[in-house]
């Protein structure tokens, strides 16, 4: 899968080490029962929702519930029918902080707009979780603030930025700096990177 990524996007080859480190960190996070939190602005905001969607349901695989899981759920909730359980898919826990409109707007209005994601990280994050911060420049102040709080909670920070890395690149435990500087070009390279991560993490946990 990695070779396919680099065949299609040769320029990403220079990010190989950081991409593999992010893949390993995410797998280990899920293996210990952790979750991902994601934040960004503008196009990166949309990327957060996109990644969450790929992780929380089947991406390249169908992820059916196991017979054991079905039996456990029916025991606890006898009204659950087989048709519903057959349609449901296993998810990998991920929360897009950008979608919490009431919390974000309230904190922005009442306290400090630069801390909107930091507040969400404080409320939801725990040691062993991962924050994925996305910023094309790496200098988004609200994403940097979230990264600082995440590190203060013992979380791992993965930064997805452009070539310069910016503040987020310096704060991140794993910094994926795609080799472009112009916003739309950076975003065009972020997509295949996170699709690769979603696909490989999914393949690690699900056979079907």
Q: Where are the domains of the chain?
A: 2-63+93-205
Cα separation, 15 vs 49, whole angstroms: 23
96 sits in which H/E element: strand 94-96
Cα separation, 196 vs 92, whole angstroms: 15
Give the pLDDT of residue 171. Answer: 98
- CB atoms inside a 10 Å sphere around CB 126: 10
Mean pLDDT of 29-34: 97
Residues 8/9/15/20 CA torsion (nearest 10 deg): -20
Give the pLDDT of residue 37. Answer: 98
pTM above 0.75, yes or no: yes
Does the pLDDT of residue 49 top 80, yes or no?
Answer: yes
Does the pLDDT of residue 208 top 80, yes or no?
Answer: no
For 72, phi then psi, to 5°, come to -65, -45
Q: Please give the CATH number for the structural domain made up of 2-63+93-205.
A: 3.40.50.10490
CA angle 198, 27, 74 (to 5 degrees): 85
Convert the pLDDT of each residue in 149-176 to its tens digit.
999 999 999 999 999 999 999 999 999 9
Does the pLDDT of residue 207 top 90, yes or no?
Answer: no
């Amino acid at each position: 899968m990695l070779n396919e990524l680099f065949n299609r996007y040769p320029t990403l080859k220079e990010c190989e080490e950081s991409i593999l480190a992010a893949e390993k960190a995410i797998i280990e996070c899920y293996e210990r029962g952790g979750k991902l939190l994601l934040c960004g602005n503008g196009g990166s905001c949309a990327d957060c929702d996109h990644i969450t969607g790929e992780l929380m349901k089947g991406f390249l695989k169908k992820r059916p519930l196991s017979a054991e899981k079905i039996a456990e759920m029916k025991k606890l909730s006898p009204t659950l029918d087989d048709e519903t359980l057959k349609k449901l898919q296993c998810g990998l826990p991920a929360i897009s902080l950008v979608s919490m409109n009431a919390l974000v707007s309230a904190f922005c209005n009442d306290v400090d707009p630069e801390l909107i994601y930091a507040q969400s990280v404080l409320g939801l994050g725990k040691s062993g979780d991962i924050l994925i911060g996305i910023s094309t420049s790496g200098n988004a102040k609200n994403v940097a603030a979230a990264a600082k709080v995440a590190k203060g909670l013992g979380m791992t920070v993965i930064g997805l930025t452009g070539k310069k890395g910016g503040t987020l690149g310096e704060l991140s435990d794993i910094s994926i700096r795609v080799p472009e500087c112009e916003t739309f070009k950076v975003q065009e390279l972020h997509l295949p990177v996170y699709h690769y991560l979603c696909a490989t993490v999914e393949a690690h946990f699900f056979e079907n």
